[in-house]
Structure 1
Amino acid sequence: MVALELRPNCELCDKDLPPDSPEARICSYECTYCADCVETVLFDVCPTCGGNFVPRPVRPLRSWRPDLKLGREFRPPSDKRVHSKYERADIDAHVARIRGIAPEER
């Protein structure tokens, strides 16, 4: 079983997004942004893949099924901060180009 990376920050504004943050949003490739950036800058368009975002799941603090070892004590979130490789102007152009297309049609 592969666990989500649970990146610790918004890749655009660098806001901290701890593993239990209800503000974290991810695309299908685990690009991670805060809800504010997704709603007001990215308009639900991933600047990398062009997909949409969903709320990131919260990893349980502990393993509720000890035989599976799935809690944070066994599978800690990443501490490596990630930043988008694209400049803001490029992100804005990319978002403007495809934001009017429904996610399932992008």
Structure 2
Amino acid sequence: MPLRRWRGSGVADTLRLDKFLWFARIVKTRSLAQALAEGGHLRLSGRIVDRAHAPVRIGDVLSFAVHGRVRVLRIEALPARRGPPAEARMLYSELVEGSPLTSEGGGD
């Protein structure tokens, strides 16, 4: 799997959040990734993210809700490009298997 190069020497240690979401095929387009990040719908290592350009690193934990399920992912690698789906799945590991969202009602 190709790793992201930085100025011709070494491997980059960060990548923009929106690019990671798109490269890892979590969203279909980069503009959707930007909207998801800027809407405050993502948490990166426990902190709410509201910037598409927030840096992600290997080992960061990303959590978000999509299609009525909560996904929690650990970033395993930073890609150099948007590759095929099989390659994209190797960029992260699923920590929580998409648990459904529930609403806690207070009244009986």
| TM-score normalised by structure 1 residue count | 0.29
Whichever structure has more strand as a proportion of its residues is 2
Greater relative CO, 1 or 2 (CA 8 Å, sep 6+): 1
